[in-house]
Amino acid sequence: MAEAHQAVAFQFTVTPEGIDLQLSHQALKEIYLSGVRAWKKRCARIRNNIVTGVYPASPSSWLFVALTVVGTMYTRVDPSMGMIGKIKEHLPVKRCLSHQGQNIMSALLFATVLWLALIYMMRQILKTLLSYHGWMFEEHGKASNMTRIWFTMVKIFSGRKPMLYSFQASLPRLPVPTIQDTMQRYLESVRPLMNDEEFHRMEALAKDFEVKLGPRLQWYLKLKSWWATNYVSDWWEEYVYLRGREPIMVNSNYYAMDFLYVTPTPIQAARAGNLTHALLLYRRKLTREEIKPSTLPGLPVPLCSSQWERMFNSTRTPGQETGKTAHLSVRGNCCSYMPRDPRFDSCLTKHLTLRGRDTRIPWGKARKSFFSNGKNRSSLDCVEKAAFFLTLDGDKPGLQVEDPVKSLDAYAKLLLHGKCYDRWFDKSFTLIVFENGKVGLNAEHSWADAPIIGHLWEVMYDPLQITKGVGTGSGRTKYPFDLGMNSHLDVQLVYQSVWSPALNIAASRVVSIHYFHNSPPGICCFEHRNRRRPFSPLSLFLPSYKNDKGKFCLTYESSMTRLFREGRTETVRSCTIQSSNFVRAMEDHLSASECLKLFHLAAKTHQHISRLSMAGCGIDRHLFCLYVVSKYLGVHSPFLQEVLSEPWSLSTSQTPLQQVELFDLLNHPEYISCGGGFGPVSDQVASSFCVVSVNYVPF
């Protein structure tokens, strides 16, 4: 209890002569410095709020406007057209001021109102400019004069030196597509998946919905879009993630990989220390809003930064019907979860036949039963209030040159689920450091999407920041939880309700993870005119078509909607009539020129629907929100019910590389990584394809 003695700031004793007070100057000094640090943080937050609140102007611009207005008064020019005089007549403190003071005070008040009006006007102009997406549909490298003017205007009104959240108030709201457009695009997307009879049936359902129930649901959705910041994001987080009753491991969480060919140090403790230091530096920059806001690569178009808010000190908690994502503003330390308590060993081999789909419910019950008070409660708080979770894993994964595919498969499975009990999947993200110095990351999905974690991963992985160090571990492992080890039944209950179902599901679902090791990894390429050109997911349709015995499947490709405030993702339905024609041509062995022609047409169509999704004209988020409204109203829609129950058998995702230009990947290819991945998305097929490509910008 030495720390208890260290914490005493003063001592006193009562004597007949009075109270003998002995102050500890060192303790008082630390108290003083702690208060200074706290006030510095408060002042920094206030300053950041002011700077962000007046962006794209700056606080110093108020001084310029004020001096200009006051200066014109001495030239007998009234820039306010009589408004300064009106303000002077109604000044509440004019009796306390001289005539000259009243003039200056009135001028300053007018200058402040004028300054705020100019800021509002600049924001509205920038918001209007950012609402234009016609530039997206022009051919790459052939921008029109209108687009050039638009780019120039965006640069002018974007201001200088923006902070992380500077553009938030200037981003437009996500528009609600019309019912007619959504129905038309939906029918086009399912045409290659259905025969004539099935398609005519679905067409009739869509037309009936468009005429009868659709307009009523659309009205409520329009109302929400006018009132809420984003008409999709809160419902998406609630109903897609937090209300999910399946285990989030494999079904929701995703992972990120280490460098393939570089390991800065093979010492586990050194690697963990270096990366923890880098993460905490990143968190400090995030708290100070010093991270540069994301923009489209090579373009001055800002993206929404709201997802950064819950990166650290956040956790997802279970519930009976729904969970929640709790973000704590307190300063937390990283929590290191060491190897499991060996007293659990006798239970790990039991109950492996249990199969539970609704594992969030028993986990919520176990959390309430075992972690509601006492030592377990404080131990749980230590984890949930921590900045992030750190796992020291005893495995030694990595790329093995003699068997790259098998070694990467094993690496991916360790990152996706590990042994289950050595990860905390509810935490916003878990840093996993292996015994050989390799690392990885497992991220919870409800609070943000992969590009946000990708940005953190790249900054943390900056080779200029990575240093070789030596770390040693000392002391014995402390087990933070007391689950009542004297009662063997308590251990069995926890294992049955939480760990065993997760292990069983992992074993049954993750058998399909498979890496294709090519160069560069993770990119599907084709040769054309002696140049390697990446494309995805068109390269996957042919093997998927063969795997499903001559059938096309509903294909999910993620796209971002962060061009809008609080935007997250949209679905690109990549299986189109044009892509199916290309696959059939390849299967029928048509001429190379004919196949290439069909491929170009398929790629052009794919780019078009990707751009529509980014521009807020996607299909699936609109249909999802219409379905939510129908549930609130208690009305049944056969069309929406069928659409929302369609399985996605082929799924691809995009994780952008080099969001921050920290190093040249072309000149230093040894710093390449496989990126990341996620679990199978469908239980209804023997092997669902889940592919991660490397860029989400369809240009």
The tokens of 505 are what? 């599901």
Write down the pLDDT at residue 692: 46
Architecture of domain 3-10+178-241+537-678: 2-Layer Sandwich (3.30)
* Whether 22 contacts 12, CB under 8 Å: yes
| Mean pLDDT for back-to-back runs of 10 residues, the chain (699 residues) | 41 56 66 77 84 87 88 78 81 74 85 92 94 88 88 90 92 96 96 94 96 95 94 93 85 88 88 90 92 87 94 89 77 52 37 42 80 79 88 91 85 88 90 94 93 88 51 41 45 46 45 48 34 55 75 87 95 92 89 89 91 94 96 94 88 71 71 78 50 40
67 membership: H or E segment, kind and range: helix 59-73
Rounded Cα distance between 583 and 601, Å, is 12
445 as an active site residue: the answer is yes
Sorted by where each begins, the domain ranges of the chain are 3-10+178-241+537-678, 56-158, 248-469+490-508
Write down the pLDDT at residue 234: 93
pTM: 0.83
Find all residues with CB under 8 Å of 61, minimum gap 6, and list them. Answer: 54, 115
> Which of 140, 351, 445, 517 is flagged as catalytic?
445
Rounded Cα distance between 190 and 576, Å, is 8
Tens of pLDDT, residue by residue over 76-131, are: 777 778 888 888 777 776 677 777 788 888 888 888 999 999 999 999 999 999 99
Do the domains at 3-10+178-241+537-678 and 248-469+490-508 have one common CATH topology? yes
Domain 248-469+490-508: give its CATH code: 3.30.559.70
Find all residues with CB under 8 Å of 474, minimum gap 6, and list them. Answer: none
Reduce the DSSP state of residue 545 to 3 states and report it: helix
Which residue, among 58, 37, 690, has the nearest Cα to 416 in the 3D structure? Answer: 690
